[in-house]
Structure 1
């Protein structure tokens, strides 16, 4: 797990976009895992700028989103399919239908989840998974207590997650759905490279457990300690509880250029 502490969102967006651009130059038909929420927005903004400047193309690439609310109408602005389209997909040149997400309106939820896993496998698996992390350590919607071997499934959101997400629903807690479909922890672990972004002091406790704590279902993101290629991009506030923060800074500054990200 590589920890990179950067001065601000702009630097995070630039380095995260570098990872995606490098991947697309090596493999134009790459499969990218797309997270919603505020954490990856700086990366998406930078990628959209680079696309506008003819630096890269997503025309042959495919994408899979992490999760989706259960029961939100297809045209609801907070449906994650609509959110990722607004924040990123519609701003670049993905082919029609190249990005898909779990079906939160499916009549047969279990079949829909199994089908989503099969679709990822048929695509060859995710090359680069973009992630955020919740204040309680969840990744995707894998809440505390999630099985470390879990695959795409339905989950009940914790009250804390619903409180955190109420800002997207007019600060009305009751408007936030109770259930979601989410890629499981084992699904996320199957990605070849994981790029996790966390900013702000509110994420410092979760980041501390993610990087320096014990692997535990109570802090689901800690499973990433067992992944062979994880890059964690942080601002100073999110890194505020890391005991080895100075070492991580020194390590990144001394990193050989040939290693890339």
Structure 2
């Protein structure tokens, strides 16, 4: 696991997007894992800028979203399919039909989850998975206590997560109780995981992810077992890391050829 500590959210977005841009340039048909929430937004902003100003080409790439609410009507502005479309797909030249989301409105949720796993496998697996992290250490919507070997499935949100997400809805009463999410095992299958986090509210979760024990109570900590995870955070999110100075030293003295 590599930990990169930067000044602010804009720098986090720039560096994370740089890793994605290098992948897409070297592997035009790359499969991207797409996350929503606040933390990845600067990443999508920078990717849109690279497309508009430097011609970064996504036309052969494809994507799989991490999760989706259960029960929101098609086209609801806070469905994650719509968020991905608004923040990423519509801003670059990726073919919309090549960007897939879990089906939170399926009559057969279990069947839809199995089909989503099959679709990821048929695409050759995810080359680079973008992740955020919840204030309680969840990734995707794998809440504390989730199986660290889980696959795509339906989950019930904690009240903390519903409160955290209420800012996107008129009221907390309108935040769904259930989601379909890629499982922890699904996420761990990605060849490269890039997790971004910003703000002091994420500091304890980042500490648990990087320096805590591996435990289902901080699901993100399982990424300590992943062979290629890059954690990119701003100074506020890194504020309780015991080895923050060491992580800064490592990043500042990396060989130029190493990359992320």
- Where on the TM-score scale, by shorter chain, does this alignment land: which range? over 0.9
Per-residue deviation, 1:54? 3.6
Per-residue deviation, 1:8? 1.1
How many residue pairs were aligned? 260
Distance in structure 1 (CA, Å) of the matches to 2:80 and 2:165: 12
Compute the TM-score of the two structures, normalised by the length of structure 2.
0.99
Q: Please identify, of 4-13 and 120-129, the stretch whose mean Cα deviation from structure 2 is larger.
A: 4-13
Describe how 1:25-44 pairs up with structure 2 within 5 A: 25-44=25-44
Per-residue deviation, 1:174? 1.0
SS in 2 for 1:259: coil
- Note the residue ranges of structure 2 that are not aligned, 5 or more in a row: none
SS in 1 for 2:230: strand
Q: Within the alignment, does 1:173 sit opposite 2:188 as a pair?
A: no
Render the CA deviation track for 1:91-119: whole Å, top value 9, x for unaligned.
00111301010000000000000000000
Compute the TM-score of the two structures, normalised by the length of structure 1.
0.99
Q: Is the 8 A contact 2:131 2:195 kept in 1?
A: yes
Distance in structure 1 (CA, Å) of the matches to 2:54 and 2:227: 32
Distance in structure 1 (CA, Å) of the matches to 2:216 and 2:117: 22
Structure 2 partner of 1:184: 183
Structure 2 partner of 1:252: 251
Q: Is the 8 A contact 2:89 2:96 kept in 1?
A: no
Render the CA deviation track for 1:196-236: whole Å, top value 9, x for unaligned.
00000000000000000000001000010000000011111
Measured on the aligned residues, the alpha-carbon RMSD in Å equals 0.6
- Note the residue ranges of structure 1 that are not aligned, 5 or more in a row: none
Distance in structure 2 (CA, Å) of the matches to 1:153 and 1:108: 11
Distance in structure 2 (CA, Å) of the matches to 1:146 and 1:72: 23
